[in-house]
Amino acid sequence: MSDDPRLALIRATLRDVPDFPKPGIVFKDIHPLLQDSATFRLVLELLEEQARALRVDRIVGIESRGFLFGAPLADRLRVGLSLVRKPKKLPFTTIRETYALEYGTDTIEMHVDAVKPGERVLIVDDLLATGGTARAAANLVTRLGGDVAGCLFVVELGFLNGRARFDGVPLHALVTFD
């Protein structure tokens, strides 16, 4: 699909924001993509193509932009949606996973009943960078007895090698920046 004109459209719709959130970083902003209904619909269609092949039972969306793609994708696939959030954002009993960042650590949580043992789960987020958050989400799914069937992203920052954290897990991004 690398020469697919649909992917070129998605790539062209993303906006680079230099020096955000700190100097030297070029942030890949998905807001223009979300603001254009035709491009957003195209992204969902392409994600759905990838997801259908995995035959999943549940989508796990990662806070917060993963919710934007995970919810409509779950609806299209007729599967449940579970959320991974920052600490103290979920109202019921949770499990948590702490993971390393470039400078420090972060933590995410999921409800204890978010994934049933044996469910095939697809993790969805907008962007794969270093892979820390998505790997932590995969660990939560596994701890609850789920099988991580794959991970889907709209954008991958290939130069950060986040893909390396997912040995053996099917991982797909619509657009990759090397």
Gap between the Cα atoms of 178 and 175, Å rounded:
10
DSSP state of 62: E
User: Which three-class secondary structure state does DSSP give residue 131?
Assistant: coil
Closest C-alpha among 148, 152, 136 to residue 95: 136
6 is catalytic: no
Indicate the DSSP class of residue 107: E
Q: List the catalytic residue out of 11, 65, 76, 120.
A: 65
**Residues comprising the chain, all counted:** 178
Q: Which residues contact 15 (CB under 8 A, 6 or more apart)?
A: 28, 29, 31, 32
102 catalytic per annotation: yes
Q: Between β-strands 147-157 and 80-84, what pairing exists: parallel, antiparallel or unpaired?
A: unpaired
Distance CA 134, CA 115 (A): 16
* Alpha carbon distance 36, 153 (integer Å): 18
Instruction: Indicate which residues carry an active-site annotation.
Output: 65, 102
